[in-house]
């Protein structure tokens, strides 16, 4: 029985490796069961960390809510009138739309109000990444000093899922409502994409009828067409593992 399990796992790992190579994507993915006993990984180096980009909107949303800068996911965030290259950003937002559209200017506005001292406090409380911000509070998660590994992304997501962060439960509930990205007959998914420079991310957790899976996929972005592989490869890996059909 053990040899069969080992053989199947080896076959699955080969398929995952082939999936990345056939699509000419350099990256790493980690998938873990809620209990942590089942783990699938490809090309993961726990010593390697990357800019979190918009995946930082997960902790950042909690910080903004905890600080009382936004009351709920539906409160209007007034557009500043500046035209930006991504059309969905060029209008009033809510916390929900800002999260889903990865609206940079919304989160930059609140970053100034949070301030460096409080950001460091929250990063320590959350044990998030390397705990660094840097000289520019409006960009530290985009091209500043903050870094996080694939494994640490999942460690943080576990705390979100289990409501084990030093944040009011109502704010974690709001975040989860905003993060819910897909509802199918056989699964639900809570997720966030991220992209800054060569760092592309897709992180979150997927819940089936009988299991919860945490995932973090980091890929190298060399051209815009690579962006689709953040989610696409993640979903293909779940299919290889027979988590979803």
Residues acting as catalytic residues: 54
Q: Which regions of 92-234 does DSSP assign to beta strands (E)?
A: 148-149, 180-183, 187-196, 199-208, 212-220
Q: Which residues of 55-92 are buried (b: 16+ CB within 10 A; e: fewer)?
A: bbbbbbbbbbbbeebbeebeeebebeeeeeeeeebbee
Q: Are 31 and 44 in contact (CB under 8 A)?
A: no
Q: Are 55 and 175 in contact (CB under 8 A)?
A: no
Would you call 22 helix, strand, or coil by DSSP?
Answer: helix
d(CA 215, CA 218): 10
């Amino acid at each position: 029985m053990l040899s069969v399990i080992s053989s199947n796992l080896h076959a699955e790992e080969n398929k995952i490796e082939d999936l990345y190579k056939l699509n000419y994507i350099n990256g790493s993915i980690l998938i873990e069961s809620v209990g942590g006993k089942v783990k699938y990984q490809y090309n993961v180096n726990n010593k390697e960390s990357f800019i979190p980009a918009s995946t930082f909107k997960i902790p950042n949303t909690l910080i903004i809510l905890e600080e009382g800068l936004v009351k709920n996911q539906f409160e209007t965030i007034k557009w500043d009138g500046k035209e930006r290259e991504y059309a969905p950003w060029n209008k009033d937002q809510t916390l929900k739309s800002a999260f889903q559209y990865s609206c940079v200017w919304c989160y930059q506005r609140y970053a100034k109000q949070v301030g460096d001292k409080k950001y460091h406090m929250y990063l320590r409380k959350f044990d998030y990444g390397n705990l660094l911000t840097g000289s520019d509070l409006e960009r530290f998660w985009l091209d500043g000093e903050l870094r996080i590994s694939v494994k640490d992304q999942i460690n943080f997501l576990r705390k979100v899922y289990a409501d084990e962060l030093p944040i009011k439960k109502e704010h974690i509930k709001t975040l989860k409502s905003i993060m819910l990205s897909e509802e199918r007959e056989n699964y639900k998914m809570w997720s966030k994409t991220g992209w800054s420079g060569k760092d592309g991310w897709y992180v979150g957790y997927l819940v089936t009828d009988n299991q919860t899976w945490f995932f973090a996929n980091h890929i190298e972005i060399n051209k815009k067409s690579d962006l689709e592989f953040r989610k696409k490869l993640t979903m293909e890996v779940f299919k290889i593992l027979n988590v979803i059909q």
